[in-house]
């Protein structure tokens, strides 16, 4: 097993008054040649948007864009005619494909919205743009890695154009559990939303990340109650 540890304090960031954003990987004005993604995973942005503010209309193409609200309400609109709000406990995916224009705004005028935006490089270029939003509450069982994204439209959760799987779990202190990678061609990127865990001797705290390769599985010891996301992606594509 090989690992690369990205402490939360090592992330890049941008602050624009209304926006506080931390970048696990190179993004916008933050560039580190050692942090240009992890396989097909290109972006993990940890965004805090003040009340009534947000990202106005902007375009994307040929990228799988996943948004996971952590608190508050995020209002979405796009050139495909999709309009709505996503909240904690939901997941949204947009396959940008040949091109789409969208906006992301805080749906609350007073309280901030906090969300993760994750980008994955697709395995098919120039597909027709698509949008999907799913409530995950019934899928999330405590002390388990719960699959919320896959390559398969028939699966529970959302799907994308890539051999990638996302799993989310909330774990109690003292739990030890094992995650098995879905493909021998994949690595796993573990991002700690909250709490503290240990994986292969690496102690991970809130917003730390750990890239794991050259293994079929890994074991995680939960030191403090924790919420975890595992992003299981091809390392070559």
> Is the separation of the CB atoms in 140 and 168 below 8 Å?
yes
Count Cβ atoms below 10 Å from residue 181 Cβ, excluding itself: 19
**pLDDT tens across 90-115, in order?**
999 999 999 999 999 999 999 999 99
pLDDT at 234 over 90: yes
Q: DSSP letter string over 133-187?
A: EEE-GGG--TTS-EEEEES-TTSSSEE-SSS-EEEEEEE-TT-EEEEE-S-TTEE
Which letter does DSSP use for residue 80 in this model?
A: T
Q: Rounded mean pLDDT of 116-143?
A: 96
Q: pTM for the full model?
A: 0.97
pLDDT value of position 58 = 95
pLDDT value of position 237 = 82
Reported for 55-58, long-range contacts at CB under 8 A and 24+ positions apart, including other chains, are: 55/103, 55/104, 55/105, 56/103, 56/105, 57/101, 57/102, 57/103, 58/101, 58/102, 58/103
Q: Rounded mean pLDDT of 123-131?
A: 97
Q: Rounded mean pLDDT of 133-151?
A: 96
Confidence of residue 16 (pLDDT cuts 50, 70, 90): confident
**pLDDT tens across 166-221, in order?**
999 999 999 999 999 999 999 999 999 999 999 999 999 999 999 999 999 999 99
pLDDT at 14 over 90: no
d(CA 111, CA 181) in angstroms, rounded, equals 38
């Amino acid at each position: 097993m090989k690992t690369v540890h990205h402490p939360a304090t090592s992330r890049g960031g941008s602050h624009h008054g209304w926006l506080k954003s931390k970048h696990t990987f190179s993004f916008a004005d933050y560039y580190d040649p050692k942090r240009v993604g992890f396989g097909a995973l290109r972006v993990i942005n940890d965004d805090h948007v003040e009340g009534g503010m947000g990202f106005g209309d902007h375009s994307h193409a040929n990228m799988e864009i996943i948004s996971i609200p952590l608190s508050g309400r995020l209002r979405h609109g796009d050139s495909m005619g999709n309009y709505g709000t996503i909240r904690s406990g939901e997941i949204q995916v947009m396959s940008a494909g040949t091109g789409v224009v969208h906006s992301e705004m805080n749906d609350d005028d007073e309280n901030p919205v906090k969300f993760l935006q994750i980008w994955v490089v697709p395995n098919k270029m120039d597909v027709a743009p698509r949008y999907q939003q799913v409530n995950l509450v019934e899928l999330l069982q405590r002390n388990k890695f719960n699959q919320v994204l896959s390559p398969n439209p028939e699966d529970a959760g959302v799907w994308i154009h890539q051999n990638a799987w996302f799993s989310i779990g909330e774990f109690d202190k003292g739990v030890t559990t094992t995650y098995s990678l879905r493909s021998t061609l994949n690595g796993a990127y573990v991002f700690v939303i909250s709490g503290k865990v240990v994986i292969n001797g690496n102690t991970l705290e809130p917003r730390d990340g750990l890239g794991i390769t050259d293994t079929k599985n890994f074991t995680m010891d939960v030191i403090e109650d924790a919420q975890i996301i595992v992003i299981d992606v091809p390392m070559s594509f």
